[in-house]
A and B are shown apart, each in its own frame.
Chain A
């Protein structure tokens, strides 16, 4: 039996732990990385954000001479910006909806059904990753040329849709695999039909991951540049194309900066939400880590 008297008084252990923790060496390496990364990663974004609110910023002043929302008004009253935004939203929504409609059932089949060639077909989606992307776009564009799809809405939708296949199948497959089979069996034991089981048990469990896949697809498609450029121009000018025009033609520095802040903040929030659901390692696993 333990002699109570020899035990340290309650709370002593915690105090000890606290002392140990306090004695832990300061994480100097961490601070060094932190400062280095803060400069390299955040400085470009901060500078751009400042430009968006700078009405006058002449070299070599460290800070803008005049700040205000003047350029916001000017940029957001440009017709090309709104046309491109509307077009981009239409293309992106079309791509995401079609992708979800054709990929999610396929993902369910890969995860749950047994059919001939399943493994081979599943891995076939990887072939997209085995080619340098822009080369693949050129090869597809040559086919689109004969089909008169260059410079059309559906040409851009199709090529961007192909780019979404891998993730819209692979991410949901792991979601459907993660569904607890015992719950499904239990539901079936108490008399639920297959349809009821799918809607009430399977789908709700997979839903967060499916939603994350949709968010990631939406944001990535919105900003997709390479394919939109080659297939879409000159008729189909998506938002990134307008951004590129602002960079190349150097109209006013601020136009680009305003669009940067205006577009990037909402997409960043969407991606944060997606990552919260999926976790960073899921991204890496999908990439072969």
Chain B
């Protein structure tokens, strides 16, 4: 670092490369190389040559397909629910200030500080069998509800809860681009709330919504902890399925095949997300 300063910009070339060398090497060794290895290693086998047998197995195996289907719809529904829940809060926070708004924001961001293992534990105490919701229902002489614990609804509720803060922050930063003046102007001309939202606000935050959805899909598609602890054992989401294939069945080939399939399904979203961040945050000139 010091040598770089002394040698000025021109001489900093080598020092710069040296300073970033270690993290870059780690990135290549533990991210890019494994991805490449996973893709190549599932289709090319030294000695026997090319084979797509593990993919053929996945796409003909009824259980694998059921897991994939569950993952797809849980991911889609959860992403949409997160945006649907966060959007009204984001709109409110964008156009309101004051102590109540500050409290609303603090509460909505709170799950950011609760690790997902703890979310799972708290969830079971609330919505699990004989949880506090059941307790309250019984106290009110109402019938118990079917518990979402160990059904697909379990991870969905848990994941919406867990993902609310980041979804909200992403939408809020998008809404920052909507000027209050334009909203006021439209309102003066007699636009109702719905028109205001669909004609003025939505077009301006379209890209933010797409980025938010992409970010959510990436996180949800291979979510592990919450689906494992709160979801059904069969069919299971791709995260728990990969873990079981790798650890319990000691079958790295099929686990890696499943991983590559999740990469493929998420590739488009990964691209959208990474391009959006790269655009917003180039290294300084």
**Interface residue A175 (Cβ < 8 Å from any Cβ of B):** no
**Interface residue B84 (Cβ < 8 Å from any Cβ of A):** no
B281 touches A29 (CB 8 A): no
- A50 to B6 alpha-carbon distance, docked (Å): 60
CB neighbours (8 Å) of A159 from chain B are 30
A165 touches B126 (CB 8 A): no
A288 touches B276 (CB 8 A): yes
**Interface residue A257 (Cβ < 8 Å from any Cβ of B):** yes
B16 touches A126 (CB 8 A): no
Candidates B24, B170, B252, B263; contact of A289 at CB < 8 Å? B170
CB neighbours (8 Å) of B271 from chain A are 130
**Interface residue A287 (Cβ < 8 Å from any Cβ of B):** yes
B2 touches A283 (CB 8 A): no
B166 touches A287 (CB 8 A): yes
Candidates A121, A122, A135, A289; contact of B222 at CB < 8 Å? A135
Q: Knowing A27-B101, A44-B126, A142-B255, say if A113 contacts B277 (CB, 8 Å).
A: no
Most chain-B CB neighbours within 10 Å: which of A31, A128, A131, A177? A131
CB neighbours (8 Å) of B223 from chain A are 134
**Interface residue A207 (Cβ < 8 Å from any Cβ of B):** no
CB neighbours (8 Å) of B260 from chain A are 135, 139
Give a binary string over B162-175; 1 marks a CB under 8 Å from any A CB, 0 the rest. 00001001101110
CB neighbours (8 Å) of B283 from chain A are 110, 118-119, 122-123, 173
B12 touches A62 (CB 8 A): no
A138 touches B258 (CB 8 A): yes
A131 touches B23 (CB 8 A): no
Interface positions of B from 26 to 78, Cβ below 8 Å from A: 26-27, 30-35, 37-38, 41
Q: Knowing A34-B104, A40-B161, A43-B126, say if A131 contacts B266 (CB, 8 Å).
A: yes
With both beta carbons as reference points, the residue of chain B lying nearest to A132 in the complex is identified as B222
A41 touches B108 (CB 8 A): yes
Chain A contact residues: helix, strand, loop or mixed: helix
A45 touches B247 (CB 8 A): no
**Interface residue A190 (Cβ < 8 Å from any Cβ of B):** no
CB neighbours (8 Å) of A111 from chain B are 284
A162 touches B19 (CB 8 A): no
Interface positions of B from 174 to 222, Cβ below 8 Å from A: 174, 208, 211, 215, 218-219, 221-222
A139 touches B136 (CB 8 A): no
B26 touches A30 (CB 8 A): no
A-B Cβ contacts below 8 A, count: 330
CB neighbours (8 Å) of B118 from chain A are 48, 223, 243, 260, 263-264
B124 touches A130 (CB 8 A): no
**Interface residue B145 (Cβ < 8 Å from any Cβ of A):** no
B19 touches A106 (CB 8 A): yes
**Interface residue B236 (Cβ < 8 Å from any Cβ of A):** no
- A33 to B90 alpha-carbon distance, docked (Å): 11
**Interface residue B153 (Cβ < 8 Å from any Cβ of A):** no
Candidates A226, A233, A289; contact of B208 at CB < 8 Å? A289
CB neighbours (8 Å) of A60 from chain B are 130, 134-135, 138-139
Interface positions of B from 88 to 132, Cβ below 8 Å from A: 88-89, 92, 96, 98, 100-101, 103-104, 107-126, 130-132
In the complex, how many residues of chain B place their beta carbon closer than 8 angstroms to a beta carbon of chain A?
Answer: 110
A226 touches B256 (CB 8 A): no
Measured CB to CB, the closest approach of chain B to A198, in angstroms, equals: 6
Measured CB to CB, the closest approach of chain A to B90, in angstroms, equals: 11
Candidates B12, B103, B282; contact of A119 at CB < 8 Å? B282
CB neighbours (8 Å) of B22 from chain A are 102, 106
CB neighbours (8 Å) of B208 from chain A are 289
Candidates A112, A129, A264; contact of B273 at CB < 8 Å? A129
- A274 to B23 alpha-carbon distance, docked (Å): 23
Q: Knowing A59-B130, A284-B172, say if A45 contacts B122 (CB, 8 Å).
A: yes
B33 touches A143 (CB 8 A): yes
Measured CB to CB, the closest approach of chain B to A1, in angstroms, equals: 35
Candidates A27, A38, A170, A229; contact of B243 at CB < 8 Å? A229
**Interface residue B87 (Cβ < 8 Å from any Cβ of A):** no
CB neighbours (8 Å) of B130 from chain A are 59-60
CB neighbours (8 Å) of A40 from chain B are 161
Which 10 pairs, one residue from A and one from B, show the smallest C-beta to C-beta distance?
Answer: A115-B16, A289-B173, A130-B270, A223-B115, A132-B222, A134-B222, A30-B100, A288-B277, A284-B169, A194-B5
Q: Told that A130-B274, A132-B219, A142-B37 touch, could you supply 20 new A-B pairs with CB distance under 8 A?
A: A27-B98, A30-B101, A33-B92, A34-B107, A37-B108, A41-B111, A62-B135, A108-B1, A114-B16, A115-B13, A116-B13, A132-B262, A134-B242, A136-B31, A136-B259, A141-B252, A158-B30, A244-B117, A280-B109, A281-B173
List chain A positions with a Cβ less than 8 A from chain B.
27, 29-31, 33-34, 37-38, 40-45, 47-48, 51, 59-62, 102-103, 105-106, 108-119, 121-136, 138-143, 145, 158-159, 161-162, 165, 169-170, 173, 177, 194-195, 197-198, 223, 225-226, 229-230, 233, 240, 243-244, 246-248, 253, 256-257, 260, 263-264, 267-268, 271-272, 280-281, 283-285, 287-289
